[in-house]
Amino acid sequence: MTVGHVFRHVAELASSKFPATKHPTFNKIFDVKVFNPECRASPELAQKYGVSMENVQQVVAIQNLITSDLTWWNPARKTKPQNFKAASAATSPAAGIHDPTGGGSPATCDFCSWQNLTAEDTFGRIEGPYAVTASNLFKYGAPFQGVVLFKHHDPLSFNFLQLSDLLTVADGWFTKSILQAQKEKEKIHTSTTPDTIEEELLSEPPQLYPLLVWNCLGRAGASQFHGHAQVMVSGAPFPSLQREYNAVMQYKMRDRDSIDGLETRAAKKKQEEKQGSNEGEADYYHDLVEAHGVVGLARRLVIPGNATHSGLSDKNIDIIWDDKVSSSATSVSNTGGGGKENNRRTTPELSTSAKPATATAHVSLCPTKDAEVVIHGSSLTCPAFQMVFYAALRALIDDLGVESFNAGIYNIPIDRESIENNNRVSKVSAPVEIINNSAPSSLPVVARIVSRGRLSSGASDFGGLEVFAGASIGHTDPWTAMQALDESLKRAIEE
């Protein structure tokens, strides 16, 4: 083995003046990229943290090309503020948990004074009645990485309208950040007639990967008490999502091969009809929900097309919450929790005048961590998706006593019409890179929520088994979590 240059830090490794990164063995395993994401800091924020108002940081992304492992490095993150420095028995009124900011104020919580003490993206902010975006002052993702803040302080105290606004504002942020990424790409590559393959590739719209992550409280990885979610658009696929997508494609091909091996023509036709359904050809996501439905761990929510949340409790509006998640389920009668039909009258004008909003939820039999609820929908702004996401969070918090959680949303579609109206063609990848041009025509937006347990526990819920083996030990029984979700959804509709 030959010892090469001894580097002092990651930034030096990323510097082009050192030849080590040109070594064939190194390049066979690793890909090193350098990004310089920007944001704008107010005078107050710049003074408080000693940063420039026109802030530019260096983020180094190192990816293992064989295993897809990906790590971002940014030395500025060593100086980021941290609310959770020590455990305490003090409590907050709303959640009965320790609030290190003393209830939140501009003096103790930057996010409570977001106008002055949070950074702003180069394209500005997206603001709604209950939520607003900020740029992450200590970035780890590139080309864009920000936060969506609740305008209220307590992270566990939120209603449906507040949660809905958080998701809607996040959706606007993704569209804006994609637009900005394409604008910046155009500034760098202005040649209209590429002379080489490399120039042609560089002139194409960037491949981008949207992701929303919500770490609630310190046990789940948050550095700030104030309720907020991380939003990012990455120039590289996320490793676990890449692996999931590869598995989805393998499932599709395996199912296609099984058709070729069917003995009878009738059986083959029946299987082909199933794959040709609205759920998509050999759809792993659909089959995953259906498999959970077989054992009573899946539900669907259908909201009439022109119903609004303010009218969901109207007795004349038919809201469906049932366990009919198979591709053959076509019932439109209203049900309560647990899949028991209540024979409420269907309102024809609501069920036929507009396309209904639909989402499914299942409690995972193989949870990543405890009490995992998985939700499938069509977009971040889909009313049914938002309602089930809200109900699942409230089920964990209110019914199962969860005080800290992680939530993630991926396969996020971007508003192509909005982007194309700005005379730019979007090339956004919902989950990961398309493999052999055999990607399904559509994928569900997927939300996953896991409990991180009680804050009073001194032991971590994440150990060597999770870190190195990718396995977990179950705690909350899935059917207990499913019952909690049923009850929570019923309450949410009646709010």
Which pLDDT band, with edges at 50, 70 and 90, does 288 fall under? very high
**Residue 3 resides in a domain:** no
Q: Do 228 and 256 fall into the same domain?
A: no
pLDDT tens for residues 424-434? 333 444 443 32
**Residue 472 resides in a domain:** yes
Percent of the chain with pLDDT over 90: 39
Q: Do 347 and 418 fall into the same domain?
A: yes
Picking from 210, 234, 258, the residue at the C-terminal end of a domain is 234
**Residue 186 resides in a domain:** yes
Q: Which of 183-192, 213-222, 314-323, 350-359 has the highest mean pLDDT?
A: 213-222
Q: Do 224 and 246 fall into the same domain?
A: no
Rounded distance, CA 240 to CA 252, Å?
18
Domain that holds residue 60: 10-234
pLDDT tens for residues 137-180? 888 877 889 999 999 999 999 999 999 999 999 999 999 998 88
Q: Do 224 and 248 fall into the same domain?
A: no
What confidence score (pLDDT) does residue 397 get? 96
Rounded distance, CA 470 to CA 363, Å?
19
**Residue 5 resides in a domain:** no
Q: Do 227 and 313 fall into the same domain?
A: no
Straight-line distance from the first to the last Cα atom of the chain, in angstroms, rounded to the nearest whole number? 67
Q: Do 161 and 287 fall into the same domain?
A: no
Mean pLDDT over each residue of the chain, to the nearest integer: 77
DSSP code for 466: I
Q: Do 212 and 320 fall into the same domain?
A: no
What are the two backbone dihedrals, phi and then psi, of residue 245, each rounded to the nearest 5 degrees?
Answer: -65, -40
Q: Do 318 and 435 fall into the same domain?
A: yes
**Residue 280 resides in a domain:** yes
pLDDT tens for residues 66-79? 998 998 888 777 76
Number of domains the chain contains: 2
Q: Do 178 and 251 fall into the same domain?
A: no
Domain CATH number, residue 175: 3.30.428.10
**Residue 181 resides in a domain:** yes
Q: Do 224 and 255 fall into the same domain?
A: no
DSSP code for 396: I
Extract the runs of DSSP E, i.e. beta strands, from 378-433.
405-410
CB 301 within 8 A of CB 492: no
Picking from 169, 202, 234, the residue at the C-terminal end of a domain is 234
**Residue 1 resides in a domain:** no
Q: Do 195 and 135 fall into the same domain?
A: yes
**Residue 190 resides in a domain:** yes
Picking from 200, 234, 268, the residue at the C-terminal end of a domain is 234
The pTM of the full predicted model, rounded to 2 decimals, is 0.80
Which pLDDT band, with edges at 50, 70 and 90, does 36 fall under? confident
Residue 187: Cβ-neighbour burial (10 angstroms; 0-12, 13-18, 19+): exposed
Q: Do 256 and 396 fall into the same domain?
A: yes
